A = this chain, B = another copy of it.
Amino acid sequence: MKQPEIAPDETPKRKRLSSTARRQDFINQAIEFFAEEGFESSTRGLAKKLGVTQPLLYRYFPSKDDLISEVYDAVYVNRWQPEWEPLLRDRTRPLADRLNTFYNVYTDVIFNREWMRIYLFSGLKGVDINRRYMQLVRQRILEPILIEARVELGLPDVPAKDCEVEFAWIMHGGIFYYGIRDLIYDSAISTDKKRVIEDAIAAFMAGLKIKLKREGQG
């Protein structure tokens, strides 16, 4: 099939974007690209996806690693919502309700192929941003939850013990791993996220109640 010579304007002109717009576009598409192909994938492959030549990337980022750092920031830092934290501390609602709301909105953000794969790839690379992210989860999510639980059970308002944090991690990790099964392995059975979260939280609350009261006695 010959290309009909109708439109002489069809010659692909170079698009020129403003520096900042182009840069942001590069980062956004780099997230998709590296999430799918891994960080070891080539800058040429990324350039192809972007529809530009490979050296152009180096006009915007000094090196591949610098670009990757920006990808981390865009995924880990920018998508964290500060309103999650007060939500968990809203004592006008039962804690179980708050937890359900939180984990539904939280997983709305992180349960997508991009986020999950970037998280796993960067974790395997040993980048310290992952460790910092887990500290964030611990301090801003899990420890507040444990304090709220004590308060709701009428127990003294003391900081959470390590083994309690570990217990909260089990619930959090269980929910997280559901996302991995769904988005990385395509192996989730139920697609009813809300229901899965509900059951996970119910078990956590039941288990925590027993655990805290037993500790209170011993």
Contact = CB atoms under 8 A, between A and B. Distances in A.
Interface in A114-135: 117, 120-121, 123-124, 130-131, 134-135
A134 B181 contact: yes
Interface size class of A (residues with CB under 8 A): 35 or more
A177 B174 CA distance: 7
Q: What number of copies of this chain does the assembly contain?
A: 2
Contact of A199 (B120, B134, B167, B175): B167
A185 B40 contact: no
A203 B170 contact: yes
B123 A124 contact: no
A187 B134 CA distance: 8
Interface of A: 38, 40, 117, 120-121, 123-124, 130-131, 134-135, 162-163, 165-167, 169-178, 180-181, 184-190, 192, 195-196, 199-200, 202-204, 206-208, 210-211
